[in-house]
Amino acid sequence: MIAGDFLSLLAQAHGAILPPTVPTGAPVQTQATTVFAFHCAAGVLVAGDRRATAGNQIVTDRVEKVLELDPTSLLAIAGVPAMAFEMARVLQTSFEYYRRSQLQTLSLAAKVRALARLLRENLPMTLQGVGVVVPLFAGVDTAAAPPAPHIYFYDPLGAQFHAVNFAASGSGATTIRSILSFQDRYGQPRPPQMTRPQAVQFALQLLSVAAEFDSATGGVDPQTQSYATLKLLTPAGIQTVADSEQAQALSAP
């Protein structure tokens, strides 16, 4: 037992069965960061860089971290891609099964809880530190009048929180949240007032700044055709921001 190791003491004193720990020298797991979402005039813009890392190594700069679950739902992943992608596949299947079997779409509240349940079921992997997923979820409340998109963020144990204006997750989240908070309080225009071109340009600027302070966050570079994954969730559905539109936004004054 390591001195000061509470979990080992608990197991020794009370016979508690603990999940196995990762052995020393185990391969470093792949991590995917950074993602964020904010309200703009057209809806909710969900963005993610495209870098995945393993320790201090860059695995790839071509990861898609903003995933479409159905025509009105987006999942932005931060954490271990293997677990996050599997969660996305489960949600896609369950949402579609419900739609076909019940002849109606699942409510936004039910979708939010479905993701929370998957995160709770992932608790053993989270405790071991080898399967941590901290996602963002954006969905349209089709029951509202008029329908409106909403943003939710989660902790690794499955607690869900409604984000009023914006949310961010991943290694670059601190920098991005700080800039979003400043812009929302003092900037002109505020994010909820931004047009689509303004929101796209702002999102790319956020990633560029985050990449300067966090090596795990991939920035954007038109020279190497390295762009972000940007999707706009509107009451009418999901729109993907193409690389050409991102390049135009980067060149705009």
Scan for tokens 């302070």, then name that residue: 213
**Angle between the N-to-C axes of helices 81-102 and 108-121, in degrees from 0 to 180, rounded to the nearest 10:** 140
- Complete DSSP assignment for 192-204: GG--HHHHHHHHH
- The catalytically annotated residue of 21, 24, 30, 33 is 33
For helices 196-213 and 173-186, give the axis angle rounded to 10 degrees. Answer: 140
The whole-angstrom separation of Cα 187 and Cα 239 is 26
Question: Whose CA is closest to 77, among 64, 90, 89?
Answer: 64
In 3D space, the residue among 177, 140, 151 whose CA is nearest the CA of residue 39 turns out to be 151
The owner of tokens 């992943």 is 77
Under a CB-based contact definition with an 8 Å cutoff, are residues 23 and 71 in contact?
Answer: no
Q: Is 234 a catalytic residue?
A: no
Active site residues: 33
